[in-house]
Structure formats: structure tokens, C-alpha cells
Amino acid sequence: MIQIVKASLDDVQLIHRLAHAIWPEAYSNILSSQQIDFMLEKAYTISAITEFMSQGQCYVLALEETNPVGFMAMRLKSDGLRIESLYLLPETRGKGYGRELIAHAQQIGLQESCPYLELNVNRRNPAFHFYQKVGFSLHRTVDIPYHGYLLDDFVMRKPLIA
């Protein structure tokens, strides 16, 4: 079991360190090392995380006892709650922590009367199967041009309100 705590601006450095520890392993079989470096530079620098927070993106930290082992970022949209990122250290995968983070997002979505949770996952990312197991289904397939790269993703949704 993990403890999930809301991150503050004081935690930006920690989120940065976690992202840089997790991303290379998580994406080494999916993206080039150049794209991994580029994406880390675009989304997980101190300034980028700070800016996302100032724009209303909410981060939570996953703590195993007192040790930070991952994070999730969420953003309320006009029609749902979007999970922008969910990452756990490789050694903690398979312990149910991802399920706990999804359950946390679901609880927030229900409190905000959101009809669904939404997220993007790379089409070659094995996490796609995890998201299916926790109730997400394929909503659509997208190809997003992004600074010379192509983000080839599945958009997945999990209904919250019947």
C-alpha cells in the first residue's frame, strides 16, 4: 500500500528527479534516446513542472512508507478529468500502486462530477494493457505532431458516472 499526497511547489525538484529516473527505462524500447531526452526537457524540467502547476495541473506523489516511488499529474477539463502522467519506479511495478493512483484519480473525478477519466498512452507502451485491466477502453487513436516527433497514442477513457 502506498500513501498518496498532493505535491506542492516544494516537490517540483522531486518530481523532476523521479521523471528522470523513470522515463529512460520506461521508454527505452519505445522511443529513441534523443526523443526521451527531448521529452524530459520539454515536460520534466523544474521550470516546466512549475509552469504546469501554475496552469492548474495537480501532481500527487506516491510514497512507499516515506520513500517517493512515483507521481501522477491530473488536469480538470470541461468534460472530464485527464491523467496527464502516471509513473512509478521500475522496482515498484506490480505492487498495485498504479491501481491505487487510478483509484485516487477516480475519487477526484467523482468528487468533481466528471463523467470519465481520460489519458493518452503510446501505442507501443505495455501500460496500455494495464489501463484496460483497470477499466479504461480505447476512445480513439491519435497522431500528434510534436516538435519534429510524432506522438502516436491511444486516447483511453474510463467512465465514472453511468
What is the pLDDT at residue 140?
97
Question: Is residue 162 predicted with pLDDT exceeding 80?
Answer: no
Mean pLDDT to the nearest integer, 49-71: 97
Strand-pairing partners, residue 83, are: 74, 119
Beta-carbon contacts of residue 14 (< 8 Å; ≥ 6 apart): 7, 61, 68
Q: What is the pTM (predicted TM-score) of this model?
A: 0.95
Between 149 and 5, name the one with better pLDDT: 5
Q: What pLDDT was estimated at residue 19?
A: 98
pLDDT band at 64 (very low <50, low <70, confident <90, very high): very high
Non-local CB neighbours of 15 within 8 Å, separated by 6+ positions? 7, 44, 49, 59, 61, 71
pLDDT in tens, 68-106: 999 999 999 988 999 999 999 999 989 999 999 999 999
| pLDDT 10s digits, 101-159 | 999 999 999 999 999 999 999 999 999 999 999 999 999 999 999 888 888 999 999 99
